[in-house]
Amino acid sequence: MHKYIEGELSIYYKILFLIDRKGVDDIFLIPTEDKMCLCTYINLYPNISLIFVHVKTLSSKLFYFPDRRVRQMKKRNRILSTLLAAVIVISALTGCGGKSGEENAPADSADGSAEVGTDESSGQENAGGYVSVRQHLSEDVGSMSPWAADGGGRMAVLPEVYETLFYQRVIGGEALPLLGSSYEKTSDTTVKVTIFDNIYDTAGNHITADDVVFSYNQDIAEGNQPSYVGNIVSVEKVDDYTVQFELASNGVGVLEDSLCSIRIVSQAAYEADKMESNPVGTGPYIMENWVTGSTITLVKNENYWHDEDRAEVAAANADKIIYKVISEPSQILIALETGEVDIVSNAISTTDIHRFLEGGELADKFNVYTEPADLSQVIFFNCSEDNIFSDVRLRQAVCYAIDNQGILDGAYDGLGAVCHCFGGEKSSDYVEAWKSEPYYEYNPEKAKELLAEAGYADGFQIHLLLDAMPSHVLMAQIIQMNLADVGIEVIIDSYDSALFNTYRFDPTQFDIHINNKAGAYVAQQWQYSLDPDFFGGATTNFLVDEKLFDLYKTAINLDTHTPENMDACWQYIKEIVPVYGICFGYNYYVGTQGVEEFYIEPHNSVITGACTFSSDFKGGE
């Protein structure tokens, strides 16, 4: 006897979980008031299936027809031979529970059976070269504006719509042509850039040097991307297709950051509409639809300005990209396994990723790309004068109270290593001696001593700010427990990326916050957080310390960028600890077998259109 568990999905849908099923692909005919509906299984595991029913009200009676079966296509490269459901509505009027005037679902065949994986509603086979890809996002973009605060969602989506002058294929790589055709350094801090003369955006606006100057100045004026524009002193038009930049320094990575980070748009288009929800860019894709918090749909820009000789990042190998926002880790996993998404970018927990790696039960169903993370997971202290962490002893106490190895084990399943400094060990200017030096090893008793010395033997309460990244949430929970052991109560404040990237620049919104930092150079990572020229005369977390600034500027200048100067700066950062490195893990990018090669941009986001897909790739809508 089959067992059914009923669960509500929405007013229009219900799910039935079928337990102890014997592998029969059955169709049910369900009477609902004056209408009849057919529904099908989605087979998740050998003994568990989902039945999708497109009705408002289910009758208490189910009619079982074992001789009528869904015609199943064994989808190579799909998880557990998953069936993509096709819901067939039989109705003489408006269909099952549909509103008057709505379109009815099309019948798949004359005999009422559903062919899985060939129509737009249940997945599209790559027949005739059409590719529709569904990629997971852990967070929405927040805003489509080119110069809003960036987060993970924006870093994945916006490079498909907007373009920069140049781009980097890998972190620390050379600046490759995109909108810019070439650049020339005319002095240590002066750069002349020539752009292509045939650039048009998706509205038909011709992009010239005036638009480049406008885009840079507008980004600076809006103030949401200080790490991108902090090194830019001025941008001036030379002629219609040439722009001259004056940079603040000739520091490591300054040139590449300045040319590869700012999105260029038409001044006329931006002034007509600020592009908060309607982006107009020069990129290889056009936004077709955006359901906030749910999906973003892009379609290929058939009139892309540089179609014959595209940059690699602008390859546009997919005809349609559908981003699906799923923040809950368990739901991300289910979406991948059931075929709801084709690509998941660094969002499968380290506990679950083993199932996809060699030897795991799903290893032959998916492709996994693994690389050591460039991003160090760090905490920033609010060092403003009015905050409790203006006292260096309390910052040091928190560092001693945090069990870095425990965080690595708990949040990353031990896959990675603890930090020995604020800086990535893959960076070319990392000083190897730092690995063997003391760095606030876990010592709760030492933490309690420092708390007592600072007058807080009984502890205090703080707010911990973070984004919704699953690993960061786990980190926060472990930190909360660690600090509770020394008497510090932690209130966890988790927000979407847009709010997080606003609140972390507001000293009234947090006491410590979790973030990740990367750079081709350690000095560059320091720059993104500690350079007073970027953040109005202080560090990103409101510390003013002239000794730190002097040491940092010596370390980052190309003329004085030596291991000795790097070490001098690091030793002082470690002493005053405005920021504390915790750990770094591995990045895992998972896709169906039809995803042949991932394109990973330097900030660790997948650029879907630049990925490559097999000829038999089957995506969906």
Average pLDDT score over residue span 272-278: 95
Residue 312 neighbours by CB distance under 10 Å: 12
Helix/strand/coil for 414: coil
Rounded to whole angstroms, how far apart are CA atoms 179 and 172? 19
Query: What average pLDDT does the structure give for the chain?
Result: 81
For residue 21, what pLDDT is reported? 32
Rounded to whole angstroms, how far apart are CA atoms 425 and 403? 20
Would you say residue 272 has pLDDT above 70? yes
Tokens 């002893």 locate to: 393
For residue 75, what pLDDT is reported? 31
Strand 579-592 and strand 612-613: the pairing is: unpaired
For residue 550 the two structure tokens come to: 């002097």
Lowest mean pLDDT among 71-80, 128-137, 536-545: 71-80
Model confidence pLDDT, tens digit, residues 185-200? 999 999 999 999 999 9
Would you say residue 520 has pLDDT above 70? yes
Lowest mean pLDDT among 66-75, 132-141, 433-442, 495-504: 66-75
Rounded to whole angstroms, how far apart are CA atoms 386 and 382? 9
For residue 441, what pLDDT is reported? 97
For residue 427, what pLDDT is reported? 81
Tell me how far apart the terminal alpha carbons of the chain are, to the nearest angstrom.
35
For residue 227, what pLDDT is reported? 82
For residue 351, what pLDDT is reported? 79
Name the nearest CA neighbour of 153 among 323, 317, 321: 323
In terms of pLDDT, which residue wins out, 110 or 412? 412
Q: How confident is the model at residue 88 (pLDDT cuts 50, 70, 90)?
A: very low
Q: What CATH code would you report for 163-272?
A: 3.90.76.10
Lowest mean pLDDT among 29-43, 107-121, 584-598: 107-121
For residue 197, what pLDDT is reported? 97
**Measured CA distances, 460 to 374, 385, 454, 504, 581 (Å):** 34, 17, 12, 21, 23
For residue 443, what pLDDT is reported? 98
For residue 58, what pLDDT is reported? 31
**Would the CATH topology of 163-272 be identical to that of 376-584?**
no
Considering the domain 376-584, what is its CATH architecture?
A: Roll (3.10)
Model confidence pLDDT, tens digit, residues 340-378? 999 999 888 777 898 999 999 999 999 999 887 777 899
Q: How confident is the model at residue 528 (pLDDT cuts 50, 70, 90)?
A: confident
Q: How confident is the model at residue 620 (pLDDT cuts 50, 70, 90)?
A: confident
Lowest mean pLDDT among 114-128, 292-306, 437-451: 114-128
Model confidence pLDDT, tens digit, residues 148-186? 999 889 999 999 999 999 999 987 789 999 999 999 999
Percent of the chain with pLDDT over 70: 79
Rounded to whole angstroms, how far apart are CA atoms 37 and 63? 11
Average pLDDT score over residue span 443-450: 98
In terms of pLDDT, which residue wins out, 42 or 553? 553
List the chain domain ranges: 3-99, 163-272, 285-368+594-619, 376-584
For residue 565, what pLDDT is reported? 97
Would you say residue 32 has pLDDT above 50? no
Would you say residue 46 has pLDDT above 90? no
Check residue 129 and report its DSSP letter: G
Rounded to whole angstroms, how far apart are CA atoms 45 and 61? 25
pTM of the model: 0.63
Helix/strand/coil for 612: strand
Would you say residue 234 has pLDDT above 70? yes
Considering the domain 285-368+594-619, what is its CATH architecture?
A: 3-Layer(aba) Sandwich (3.40)
Percent of the chain with pLDDT over 90: 63
Q: Any alpha helices (H) in 232-366, and if so which ranges?
A: 254-260, 267-272, 329-337, 350-353
Helix/strand/coil for 125: strand
